[in-house]
Amino acid sequence: MGFRMVLEAQPDIEVVGEASDGADAVALARRARPDVVLMDVRMPGSDGIAATAAIAAELPETRVLVLTTFDLDEYAFGALRAGASGFLLKDARPDELLAAIRAVAAGDAAVSPRITRRMIELFGAQLPGEGGTSDAAAALTPREREILVAIGRGLSNTEIATELFLTESTVKTHVGRVLAKLALRDRVHAVIFAYEHGLAQGPGPRSS
């Protein structure tokens, strides 16, 4: 109810429905064809991971944002693997919620660098490599591989530009090419890919 009140107060956002469980969410998404779904991972019956997988498979134009707490690490990661475009903490501030929804609706990933780094800290040790890095990244140029590794470390475009002495527009172009060549939906899945294929080892020390 709190989320709905925040969302309905925005002139560019319309709430088209609410679902009580995963199966209901999938059925409602099929009917309403929303741009964005806010998905809880723990629900009665079919959970948010199964529902996310179904929506991602059947409705590729609909983006899913997972609502989670960091006490549910495995659920959050399962939903990302299932096709979610990002995740939010259940106690996210209204401005964070709105920014995430708008970012996902625009085709971007809904994770800030801070959240991406936290995700890496939580999941990094759980992501053993699943294939050779040479095969996985063979289509990438050396520069694109550098960009992918930086994304896997949780760096923003601004941080990547500073580290690699590039302009932000150039970084954005490289990011787009990386996603296209590897058939990744968005930046979140680039992070997952980097870890699964041994291209990232976690964030290094960062100054406060």
Using one digit for the tens of pLDDT, what is the confidence trace for 149-176? 998 887 888 889 999 999 999 999 999 9
Using one digit for the tens of pLDDT, what is the confidence trace for 118-129? 666 665 555 444
- Measured CA to CA in angstroms, residue 80 lies from 11, 107, 161, 206 at distances of 29, 15, 26, 25
pLDDT, residue 80, reads 74
Walk me through the domains of the chain, giving residue ranges and CATH numbers.
2-110 (3.40.50.2300), 129-196 (1.10.10.10)
Using one digit for the tens of pLDDT, what is the confidence trace for 27-40? 999 999 999 999 98
Using one digit for the tens of pLDDT, what is the confidence trace for 6-17? 999 999 999 999
- Sign (positive or negative) of CA dihedral 182, 186, 190, 196: negative
| Secondary structure tally for the chain: helices H, strands E | 11, 3
Q: What are phi and psi of 29, to 5 degrees?
A: -65, -40
Using one digit for the tens of pLDDT, what is the confidence trace for 92-109? 788 888 988 988 887 776
- Specify burial of residue 79 (Cβ count, 10 A radius: 0-12, 13-18, 19+): buried
Better-predicted residue by pLDDT, 42 or 184: 184
Helix axes 168-181, 157-164, angle to 10 degrees: 110
